[in-house]
Structure formats: structure tokens, C-alpha cells
Amino acid sequence: MVAKVGQKAPDFTMSTTENIETLDHVVTLEDYKEKWLILFFYPLDFTFVCPTEIRGFNSRIDELKSLGAEVLGVSTDSVYSHRAWIKASKSEGGLGELNYPLASDITKQVAQDYGVLIEEKGISLRGLFIIDPEGIVRYQVVSDLNIGRSVDEIIRVLHALQTGGLCPIDWQVGEKTL
């Protein structure tokens, strides 16, 4: 089963950094029932574009949570690598404290199920999926490794999805739907 817009999101079970010290937290899709989930894949820890996105989502986490959304970042790195990256200083290429978890898709199964795995490299493309409170994929965008995503656009799309209406090109919060 590969993730497709309008269909049930593939289930997953992954270890996360939710408890940064013990790394004993495991997350499943079911944990996000009745919430919107922004599930985003990034290629690798300790890289260049990835921290800009991860910090970008972190800087807007309160706004996303106020919209009933949770954020989960995923790469094929281990939770130990995630923890080292979070705990490393920014001057050493670290992320700093995060207010949402990073998950480890060490088996690469989740990236495969969501259609973003680059098999020959063992890493994922930059894939982002918005999953509604019933577990249905409502939006997806996948880009090449070198292109960071826009948190503003993700928030705009989340608002649009939550209207339940028809949103024309460049629709913005507060505008009428069709």
C-alpha cells in the first residue's frame, strides 16, 4: 500500500525523540486519531537544508497546534542520531530543542509505504503529507533533496482543508470559498 490522497494513510510504528533521554517512545498513526497530522520526511540528520525545515516547523508549532495539528518529522536515521543532532549546539550543526518529535524509520518501511524512499541511497525524498483526523491523506507534496518546503504554504493548505469548501488559487484565510 502506497499513500495516496483521498485514501487511508498507511499505518506506521516508529521510535521517536518524544522522550529525549530514554528514547523509549513509540508512535503509531492511531496516536493521531481525531487530530490533523503533518507528517514530513527529510533525507538525513546533520545535513544542510533539513535543519532549516525542522526549525521552521518548530517556530510555528504553537500555531499548528492551535489548528488541531501535530507535527512528526521522519528520516531513516536512528533515534540515537536524532538525539545527538538535537543535543548538538547550533555552532556544531545541531538543531537545538524541538517542540515536536523526530521519528526513526530505520527499517525504511514507512518511507516506502509513503512512496518517498530512494532505495539505492536508503534515504527519503522530501515528502510531506497532511492526514486528517479520520486517517485519510488529504494533501501530499514531494520534492527533490535540495528544495526546502514552505511552512507558510503548509499552514495555508491546512486552513484550506479545514474549511471543507472549494478554495481557489492563492486562497487565503478569511477569504470566501467557492
For the annotated catalytic residues, the residue numbers are 50
Contact between residue 12 and residue 50 where contact means Cβ atoms under 8 Å apart: no
Concatenating the DSSP letter of every residue in 13-48 gives EEEESSSTTT--EEEEGGGGTTSEEEEEE-S-SS-S
**C-alpha distances in angstroms, 126 versus 88, 91, 118?**
23, 24, 10
Rounded CA separation 142/144 (Å): 7
